[in-house]
Amino acid sequence: MALACPSCEEAAAEYVGMADDGRNEMRCTACGHHWLLGAKPVSPRAVAAKPARASTARSPRSSGARTTSAPRSPGGTTRPPAAAPGPPPVVVRFPTLDDVPAEHLQRLAALKAAWPRQRPRPDPYAADFRRLHELMFSRAGLPHTEPGQLKDFVTSDVLALSGNTTSFAREWRRLGDRDASQRFRGVVEYLLRGESGEDEDGAGRDDPPLEDRFTELAEQRSPYAMGGVRETVLMHVLAVARPERFLPLLSVDSGSGGEGKRDIARTVLGVEIPAVDRTRHTVGRVACGSNDLLVDALGAGFTDLDDAAAFLLWAHAQG
């Protein structure tokens, strides 16, 4: 039986890997929350034995060459030698297009050449869905969007899957249509335009960058955050409102939201997306960075990013 997520309480935990301190890194496939499982190891320094007091008895003098004794503290004890500095921490750099091996680029080109024969028929509802929600999420349209339209966007499987929306539905019921829709409008507005609302392509000069706003909302640290609105829902908003940049691939890790960008990048590009942490590789930076890497690697030759996402899923399935 899967472990319960400490954030959304869904029994949807999956093993990601081993953290630097030896604990297991887990991820919730329902809400995207990451945490470390197990007790934190005790630092060896905390349990190291104290150095023994040196003997005060003098040793006989040697007739040979004088030896240099260890430095003594004012109390007469021998000071332990200074510990050698450890190696600097390894900083994992986010991969770029330059890190993609040449053989993977060659294989990618061959797959792109074969794609016109493999391209599936477009979803007839996808274009209308995108146009409707682009208007809904615009600065002018968002204040007038009906509660039912906002709720249906999150739970719809058109264009992309938002994954497990149980916690979102629970929060919506708790707040009620009026307050829940107002809350979700705040999420969308802050994600797309920041507090200033000045720039459709990002945010005003005083706002944090998009990746950091994404992290604040996903980790429920922003005053605009809403329960149940995490990585996949936020990326769904970006894929609809910023179709020129964001693929409709909503999750970094594979799970209930479909194939993850981490597995796709590993299979198609031969690069490894860093694990999410709370400092350098936050959830927003990894989510947006993995998207940008895949888009950069694909280049031209696709009708739009919906077509590009379908290609990536097909290329990933080729192994």
Q: Indicate if 107 and 200 belong to the same structural domain.
A: yes
Q: Indicate if 1 and 141 belong to the same structural domain.
A: no
pLDDT at 46 over 70: no
Average pLDDT over residues 90-118: 91
Does residue 2 sit within a domain?
A: yes
pLDDT at 120 over 80: yes
Q: Indicate if 4 and 107 belong to the same structural domain.
A: no
Residue 72's φ and ψ, nearest 5 degrees, are -110, 145
pLDDT band at 133 (very low <50, low <70, confident <90, very high): very high
Does residue 184 sit within a domain?
A: yes
Q: Indicate if 240 and 101 belong to the same structural domain.
A: yes
Q: Indicate if 105 and 198 belong to the same structural domain.
A: yes
Domain holding 195, by residue range, is 97-317
pLDDT at 44 over 80: no
Q: Indicate if 148 and 26 belong to the same structural domain.
A: no
pLDDT for 39: 60
pLDDT at 24 over 90: no
Distance in angstroms (rounded) separating the CA atoms of residues 11 and 147: 29
Per-residue pLDDT tens over the stretch 135-174? 999 999 999 999 999 999 998 888 887 778 899 999 999 9
Number of domains, the chain: 2
Does residue 82 sit within a domain?
A: no
Q: Indicate if 14 and 144 belong to the same structural domain.
A: no
Q: Indicate if 101 and 240 belong to the same structural domain.
A: yes
Please, how many CA atoms are within 13 Å of residue 152, restricted to the half-sphere of its CB? 10
Q: Indicate if 202 and 292 belong to the same structural domain.
A: yes
pLDDT for 76: 53
Distance in angstroms (rounded) separating the CA atoms of residues 310 and 314: 6
Q: Indicate if 287 and 153 belong to the same structural domain.
A: yes
pTM confidence score = 0.70
Q: Indicate if 178 and 289 belong to the same structural domain.
A: yes
Average pLDDT over residues 231-256: 91
Does residue 116 sit within a domain?
A: yes
CB atoms within 10 A of CB 278: 10
Q: Indicate if 18 and 157 belong to the same structural domain.
A: no
pLDDT at 309 over 90: yes
Average pLDDT over residues 38-50: 48
> Higher pLDDT residue, 209 or 14?
209
Does residue 61 sit within a domain?
A: no
Does residue 65 sit within a domain?
A: no
Percent of the chain past pLDDT 90, that is, above it, reads 56
Per-residue pLDDT tens over the stretch 172-208? 999 999 999 999 999 999 999 999 876 555 455 678 9
Does residue 204 sit within a domain?
A: yes
Q: Which of 52-56, 70-74, 293-297 has the highest mean pLDDT?
A: 293-297
pLDDT at 225 over 90: yes
> Higher pLDDT residue, 81 or 168?
168
Does residue 78 sit within a domain?
A: no
Q: What is the DSSP string of the chain?
A: -PPPPTTT--S-EEEEEE-TTSPEEEEETTT--EEEESPPPPPHHHHPPPPPPPP-SPPPPPSS---PPPPB-TTSPBPPPPPPPPPPPPPPPPP-GGGS-HHHHHHHHHHHHHHHHHPPPPPTTHHHHHHHHHHHTSTTTGGG--HHHHHHHHH--SSS-----HHHHHHHHHHHHHHHHHHHHHHHHHHHHTTT---TTS--TTSPPHHHHHHHHHTT-STT--TT--HHHHHHHHHHH-TTT--S---SS-BTTBS-HHHHIIIII---PPPP-SSSS-HHHHHHHHHHHHHHHH-S--SSHHHHHHHHHHHHHT-
